[in-house]
Structure 1
Amino acid sequence: MSEEKMLKTINPANGKSLKEYKMMTDDEMNSAVKSCHEAFLKWKAKPAEERAKVISNIGKKLAEHKDELAKLMTSEMGKLLKQGEQEVDLCSGICDYTAKNGPDSLKDEERELPEGGTGLISYSPLGVIYGIQPWNFPSYQVVRYSIANLMAGNGVLLKHAENVTGSALLLEKIYLEAGLPENLFKVLLISHDQSDAVIENKLVRGVTLTGSPDAGKIIGKKAGENLKKSVLELGSNDAYIVLEDADVELAVKTCVQGRVYNNGETCVAAKRFIVVDKVYDKFKKAFVEQMSNVKAGDPTKEDSDIGPMARKDLREELHEQVEESVKKGAKILCGGKMPEGDGFYYPATILDELKPGMPAYDDELFGPVASLIKAKDAEDAMDIANSSRFGLGGGIFSKDEEKAKELAKYHFDTGMVFINSFGLAKPNMPFGGVKDSGYGREHGTFGLHEFVNVKAIMLA
């Protein structure tokens, strides 16, 4: 077996190799796709209530394996152990919610036809759905799309990020242990070129990707060329706006959490902090103080606030973005220095005096680096927020909740808005974005209906 035919995992806390996994041959990959399709043909015939029982059991089995899964995620990508446990809890919650509400969301709907007669709308399973997922939430990213599609009656294929291969295979084992039919959820240990062949495979009916905008353009184009439905969640540069009537203490505390949660490697993390002039200095002073106190350390230790970044190249890329911004006039208020020693650690960092054309202003910084931007007033803050090419999430801090809701509803050009809070995902709320953050929605009924055949049946 040649070197390029192996997938490798590395512990980012010390840079040491964890494990190697043999990649599939083309024949093995095609056989897995075919087996998944055959399993789908049986699964789709089962009543939604029966599928829901298996989904519920997956939630229970995830809870049983919580310690094992959390430890594996920490060793593979460096998230704090306690945050890995929170991630598994969220996954169990998604299973519970889907099992409870899925059958109703998939029920037939009757319509009276204008000229008489009855119309029936059914949500029929579509087929095999292929998911290409990132490493930052190794369990949640998989559960988010796979549970909805299994509930809908589809088969599911997964190409996970190489550095969390072990987590992918453990999830496959857990799903099987919960009673999911064999081959219905399959992990593909394949290359990017092989992945293109999966998208082209006639048995695959839909494609979902969470990744970068560049990856989204490639996968969206490939899916479109093959007339396959796709859902793309492509990261963001989320703006958190602090208005003059904000509770500044709450805003600072929440913004620090929103920037450093999951080591700052979250698509819907708080990244740009747009603060109106009247409270800017007050916010800045407290923000720098609290970010300076964020401790990077061993992710298995209780006293660590952030762990290492997931990979060496990701840390290098982040530092380059910081240095490029500084070259163009940005000012480092804390952090910003590449640490020495083992592991891919990076300090909590704040950049100030930012302008368009700087990476810290325009681009997604996928790590614990905050971009601090001054706005004249609320209108200017919203203009700055919406000037981004991204549109996944955002936040508003104001004591006037009605005004904040109005800004969120009519002015914020994103798929999600958090008011006086920071959040990741709720099982019953749509998750997804606009502009370069992609299209389509996951979670709740919205996710259940992405990859189904909405079928019109008309009776005279």
Structure 2
Amino acid sequence: MAIATVNPATGETLKTYDALDAEAIERRLAAAETAFRSHRTTSFAERARLMHRAAGLLDEDQRDIARLMTTEMGKPVKQARAEAAKCAKAMRWYADHAEELLADEEPADSDVKDSGASRVIVRYRPLGPVLAVMPWNFPLWQVVRFAAPALMAGNVGLLKHASNVPGTALYLEDLFRRAGFPEGCFQTLLIGSGAVGQVLRDARIRAATLTGSEPAGRAVASVAGDEIKKTVLELGGSDPFVVMPSADLDRAARVAVTARVQNNGQSCIAAKRFIVHTDVFDAFAERFTAGMTALTVGDPMDEETEIGPLSSEEGRAGLEELVDEAVESGATVLCGGERPDRPGWYYPPTVLADVTPEMRIHREEAFGPVATLYRAAGPDEAVEIANDSPFGLSSNVWTRDETEVDRFVRDLETGGVYVNGMTASHPAFPFGGVKRSGYGRELSGHGIREFCNITTVWHGA
């Protein structure tokens, strides 16, 4: 498998990398095990000092790393800078809160006495080296939201990043090294997907986390299950964006555009299915389509660009197939829908109406700037359409009716419900999904505890 930096705006291969051989992988596994033995005993204060240093270095590097991300995977450079800033923020959040989140807990006195103990403590201890298999779409953020809590908990990390962002992967290893984390605390493995199983089966790897496609998640979970190792999976999403008659339509339509096309539409938490009450369907569709049509498509290095190229030629071909199949089956194109005649892997902002359950785009995740519109007669039908998906990552609900809010929060089969706003991840809030969007949680206290040995310490009377 090629490990290379290929500019998606031009299709030009800029740099290639040699994959690690078995001997090099062994050296890194040994270094991780050695680093864990010492890192696990460091104080929270020392880990926080190093994490704050990493955040400061990332702020200093922001413009350069943003340009590297844009070169490797095509996101508009303004969004790349925002991603770097978000990562630094998350690093600082975990540096400041990890000790509190992992503080010892003491059960109620009545339960302690009932157990015959004089004292019981629940303690959170690190597991060991954790393998992180990460995607290209947010090449810094996806890694940092694993690495910051894992390192602060006393674990060490081995990163198998997507093979089209090797420069960003190597930057992350260098960032933690420059911050002062001991050798082996965070390492990048330049390996193909075929080598992941071998690494995961190694006894020194204690757990794994994966953000990526459903097939990739299934493959990692199968190996981890066979080895009885903890995993956290954050997989695909086809998030519903529900609009009811009481919504502020102008604001809902503006936010809907951003929610659909963030990161060139290549985001698991991007809103993809827009389910609109029939009373306001036409008004919303008009506003939304106008907003999608007005977006500036161009060179992702240009500060004015809002939509850059998709990350790969294969990704664009797959998106094109979904759209073409839907149109052939009766979907109506309100805007976009045709590949532009220009170099690079561009696809225009596209809105499809008259989508039916028989179409592949109804069931599969459209990873690019393509939105599907649905009519709903009321909350019941909106919930039915929203839940008619194999995915359950997050959801967006636009209504001023509190009864409707309660109904959607109760019935939507997703890991998050964002009311009158756009789904976004934040270090303080748990993030993850249900159904085929995966299991486990990242971020917040829930995320940092995923890779801890939750230990009961019982003292006899």
* Secondary structure of 1:299 counterpart: coil
Tell me the amino acid that sits aligned with residue 169 of structure 2.
A
**2:78 corresponds to which of 69, 79, 82:** 82
Contact 1:149 1:448 in 2 (8 A): yes
Q: Could you tell me how far 1:108 is from its partner in structure 2? A: 1.2
Matches within 5 A, 1:416-427: 416-427=416-427
Equivalent residue, structure 2, for 1:53: 49
Equivalent residue, structure 2, for 1:96: 92
Matches within 5 A, 1:73-152: 73-111=69-107, 112=109, 113=112, 114-116=114-116, 117-152=118-153
Equivalent residue, structure 1, for 2:61: 65
Q: Partners in 1 of 2:131 and 2:233 — Cα distance?
A: 12
Quote the sequence identity (%): 40
Q: Could you tell me how far 1:232 is from its partner in structure 2? A: 0.3
Equivalent residue, structure 2, for 1:409: 409
Q: Partners in 2 of 1:180 and 1:226 — Cα distance?
A: 29
Equivalent residue, structure 2, for 1:178: 179
Equivalent residue, structure 2, for 1:442: 442
* Secondary structure of 2:267 counterpart: coil
Q: Could you tell me how far 1:302 is from its partner in structure 2? A: 2.1
Q: Could you tell me how far 1:144 is from its partner in structure 2? A: 0.8
Q: Could you tell me how far 1:403 is from its partner in structure 2? A: 3.2
* Stretch of structure 1 that moved more, 103-112 or 118-127: 103-112
Contact 1:131 1:207 in 2 (8 A): yes
Change (3 A) 1:45 1:304: same
Q: Deviations over 1:386-416 (max 9, x none)?
A: 111100011000123x335413431111001
Q: Partners in 2 of 1:238 and 1:115 — Cα distance?
A: 46
Q: Partners in 2 of 1:187 and 1:388 — Cα distance?
A: 35
Equivalent residue, structure 2, for 1:37: 33
Contact 1:392 1:432 in 2 (8 A): yes
Q: Partners in 1 of 2:367 and 2:304 — Cα distance?
A: 23
Contact 1:77 1:310 in 2 (8 A): yes
Q: Deviations over 1:186-205 (max 9, x none)?
A: 10011222111011000000
* Secondary structure of 2:17 counterpart: strand
* Secondary structure of 2:384 counterpart: helix
Tell me the amino acid that sits aligned with residue 376 of structure 1.
A
Q: Partners in 2 of 1:24 and 1:411 — Cα distance?
A: 47
* Secondary structure of 1:118 counterpart: strand
1:431 aligns to 2:427 (yes or no): no
- Report the count of equivalent residues: 455
Q: Deviations over 1:34-82 (max 9, x none)?
A: 1111101100011122212111211111111101110000000000111
Contact 1:52 1:151 in 2 (8 A): yes
Q: Partners in 2 of 1:30 and 1:429 — Cα distance?
A: 36
**1:26 corresponds to which of 2, 22, 26:** 22
CA RMSD, aligned part only?
A: 1.1
Unaligned runs of at least 5 residues, structure 1: none
Q: TM-score by structure 1 length?
A: 0.97
* Stretch of structure 1 that moved more, 72-81 or 57-66: 57-66
Q: Could you tell me how far 1:115 is from its partner in structure 2? A: 3.5
Tell me the amino acid that sits aligned with residue 427 of structure 2.
P
* Secondary structure of 1:171 counterpart: helix
* Secondary structure of 2:15 counterpart: strand
Tell me the amino acid that sits aligned with residue 413 of structure 1.
E
Equivalent residue, structure 2, for 1:13: 9
Equivalent residue, structure 2, for 1:247: 248
* Secondary structure of 2:184 counterpart: coil
Q: TM-score by structure 2 length?
A: 0.97
Unaligned runs of at least 5 residues, structure 2: none
